[in-house]
Every structure is written in structure tokens, then in C-alpha cells.
């Protein structure tokens, strides 16, 4: 079976499926070709295969296997078909070269390796073996996980009532069962000033200087608020905040009339229940900063956290087969399922 997993992974890596958002580093973008390859494998195993186009040329591929018997739990195998950018790679990103016992190529780890393992397991069982399992099996290859989780959101919206007992999302976890992860909130805070020549700064209003007390307040008071005991998670710990970017001014000799910071807040399930956007907005208001600062959230800015009960029987079965239970600071498709 190991050789088949490697063979499938190489085939998948050789099919470019780079997420086109941002700077993909190649003209070969989109998940359609990868979805069609996976769909062909699923159909050959007897699955009913459908393609649900989420964005133009970017479908989810869904395979539903028939099951014998009634009352079985329904399990979803759900890797994603897109990969991150190939920009800056020093190897052939789609070469799937094997060197020193490792397979190299974009997506080999995230998540074409786990996708290959899932497909190889289904192939080993065959149609009859799949039908006689103790669970009904569906497969979904999601597009768009790397930015926005569009595929999993689309699937959840349309198949919410399908009665799934468990979804296994194929992220690289070193075979640990990640049952909980943080959510994320990306947003911008902007201050406005008035431009003036640098030789007469008193005639202007410096937007960068207006930003400094906001940054100070965010780290001095808001981050500790997120870290309050009521929001701490027993596995994930505290929420975090990263000021990842700052923009301000147009020239050295011009008083800047605007300044923007970009925040990445990774929050626990308890913070999610309170509402991270509401918490930040109220904080700025309570500290007298809302008149100075404009808060703008990214489109679909909030990616939800995951908090599957660790004592769930199916989670326990998976943990016994792998490297136990774990939490993660990142987010993935699992939160929407």
C-alpha cells in the first residue's frame, strides 16, 4: 500500500492546483484538473461523483459511496485540492521528485500526501469493502482552503443536513488527531491626518503619530483582555495578536495623512463565542480611540475555531490509531464542517 500512496501523491503533485489568490507564482492555477483526476478515481471505486463549482473553474469534487445496512454513522474524508504559491521555489514544484526517501513538490505535505493516503485506503478496500464498512463513507476534495476556505464553506452551506458524524480533514499533523484549533480574524486599523510639507510639520496632522497610542493600547490592554482566564483554552492556551504590517506616508518630506496597521488575531473558542470583532470594536470605543481609528475587517475576515470534544468516540478511535490528541494554532476547513 505504501508504494501506491507514493504513486498517487506523485500523480497529484504533478497536477498544478495552485490557489490563484495573491501571487501564485505560476499561470497554472485553479483546482479543476486535480478535482477531475480525483473524481475519476472515486468513480472507478463505485462512488457517485459530483462537481460543485464554487468559483469559475474551481469546483469541489464530492464522492458518495453506497453502503450496505442501515443506521451507520456517516464519515466525510475531506482534504483540499489547492496549494499555496510556488513563487521562490528552487525545485520543480510539480516534479514530484523522490530524493533521500522524501518526495518533493508543492502540495506533497499540504494536503496531497494525506489525500493520496485516503484514496489508497479506499482502493485497498475496494467497492465491496467500502460498502461493508461500519460507516458510510463520503469524500470531498475542497477547493480554496488556502485563502478563505471557500470550498468547505460552500459544502457546509449546501450539505448541512447530511447527517455527518465525523469529518477527517487531511492536514499534515504528524498523525496526531487535531480536535481543536484557534480561529483567526484579519483586520485593519486606519488613522487619518492632514498632509503638509516636512519643513512645516506644524501645519499638518501626523497620522503615524496618531497610530502610536493605538498600538500601545492594543498590546498593553487589549491583548491581556484576550488572555483573561475566562478565555483561556486548556489545550490551545491564550489567544494571540500579531501586528503584521504597517503603512503610512508617501514621502520622507511629507507629513503622513494616513496610517494603517494590519492585525492577525488568533483566538480561542471562548473568544469566538464572545465575538472577536465586537470585542475589538468595543475596546477602541471604551478607550476613546474610535473617533481616531477606523476599524475595517477583511472580506469574510473571521475563520472560526474548531473545538471537537476529545471524548467523542470516533475521535478516540482515531487517536488510538495515531499519535494521540493535539491542538493547533492554525485554522483549516474542519471548523466549517
pTM to 2 decimal places: 0.89
One domain for residues 241 and 166: no
One domain for residues 171 and 257: no
One domain for residues 151 and 292: no
One domain for residues 288 and 318: no
Q: In sequence order, what are the residues at sequence separation of 6 or more whose Cβ sits closer than 8 angstroms to the Cβ of residue 77?
A: 118, 122, 137, 138, 139, 140, 167, 168, 170
Structural domain including 58 reads 2-181+305-336
One domain for residues 314 and 292: no
Rounded CA separation 172/178 (Å): 10
One domain for residues 60 and 138: yes
Looking at the 3D structure of the chain, how many domains does it have? 2
One domain for residues 207 and 298: yes
One domain for residues 177 and 187: no
Per-residue confidence of the chain (337 residues) as pLDDT tens digits? Answer: 689 999 999 999 999 999 999 899 999 899 999 999 999 999 999 999 999 999 999 999 999 999 999 999 999 999 999 999 999 999 999 999 999 999 999 999 999 999 999 999 999 999 999 999 999 999 999 999 998 899 999 999 999 888 999 999 989 999 999 999 999 999 999 999 999 999 999 999 999 999 999 999 999 999 999 999 999 999 999 999 999 999 999 999 999 999 999 999 999 999 999 999 999 999 999 999 999 999 999 877 789 999 999 999 989 999 999 999 999 999 999 999 9
CATH number of the CATH domain containing 63 = 3.40.630.10
- The reported pLDDT for the residue numbered 1 is 66
- The reported pLDDT for the residue numbered 209 is 98
- The reported pLDDT for the residue numbered 22 is 83
One domain for residues 216 and 126: no
Burial per residue of 107-130, b for 16 or more beta-carbon CB atoms within 10 angstroms, e otherwise: bbebbbbbbbbbbbbbbebeeeeb
- The reported pLDDT for the residue numbered 300 is 74
One domain for residues 243 and 322: no
One domain for residues 14 and 141: yes
Is residue 79 a contact partner of residue 118, using CB atoms and an 8 Å limit?
Answer: yes
CATH number of the CATH domain containing 230 = 3.30.70.360
One domain for residues 25 and 85: yes
Amino acid at each position: 500500500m505504501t508504494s501506491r500512496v507514493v504513486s498517487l501523491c506523485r500523480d497529484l503533485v504533478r497536477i498544478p492546483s495552485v490557489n490563484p489568490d495573491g501571487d501564485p507564482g505560476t499561470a497554472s492555477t485553479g483546482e479543476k484538473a486535480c478535482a477531475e483526476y480525483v473524481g475519476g478515481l472515486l468513480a472507478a471505486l463505485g462512488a457517485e461523483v459530483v462537481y460543485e463549482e464554487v468559483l469559475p473553474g474551481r469546483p469541489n469534487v464530492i464522492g458518495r459511496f453506497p453502503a450496505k445496512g442501515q443506521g451507520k454513522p456517516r464519515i466525510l474524508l475531506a482534504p483540499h485540492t489547492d496549494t499555496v504559491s510556488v513563487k521562490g521555489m528552487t525545485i520543480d514544484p510539480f516534479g514530484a521528485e523522490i530524493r533521500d526517501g522524501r518526495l518533493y513538490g508543492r502540495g506533497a505535505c499540504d494536503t496531497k500526501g494525506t489525500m493520496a493516503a485516503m484514496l489508497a485506503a479506499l482502493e485497498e478496500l475496494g467497492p465491496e469493502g467500502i460498502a461493508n464498512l461500519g460507516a458510510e463513507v463520503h469524500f470531498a476534495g475542497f477547493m480554496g482552503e488556502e485563502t478563505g476556505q471557500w470550498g468547505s464553506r460552500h459544502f457546509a452551506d449546501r450539505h448541512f443536513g447530511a447527517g455527518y458524524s465525523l469529518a477527517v480533514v487531511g492536514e499534515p499533523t504528524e498523525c496526531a488527531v487535531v480536535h481543536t484549533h484557534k480561529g483567526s480574524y484579519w483586520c485593519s486599523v486606519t488613522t487619518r491626518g492632514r498632509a503638509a510639507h516636512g519643513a512645516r510639520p506644524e501645519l499638518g496632522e501626523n497620522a503615524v503619530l496618531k497610530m502610536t497610542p493605538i498600538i500601545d493600547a492594543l498590546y498593553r490592554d487589549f491583548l491581556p483582555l484576550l488572555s483573561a482566564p475566562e478565555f483561556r483554552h486548556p489545550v490551545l492556551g491564550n489567544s494571540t495578536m500579531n501586528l503584521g504590517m504597517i503603512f503610512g506616508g508617501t514621502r520622507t518630506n511629507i507629513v503622513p495623512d494616513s496610517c494603517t496597521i494590519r492585525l492577525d488575531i488568533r483566538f480561542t473558542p471562548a473568544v469566538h463565542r464572545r465575538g472577536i470583532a465586537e470585542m475589538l470594536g468595543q475596546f477602541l470605543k471604551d478607550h476613546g480611540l474610535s473617533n481616531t481609528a477606523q476599524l475595517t475587517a477583511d472580506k469574510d475576515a473571521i475563520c472560526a475555531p474548531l473545538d471537537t470534544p476529545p471524548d467523542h468516540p470516533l475521535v478516540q478511535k482515531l487517536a488510538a490509531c495515531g499519535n494521540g490528541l493535539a491542538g493547533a494554532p492554525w485554522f483549516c476547513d474542519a471548523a466549517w464542517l
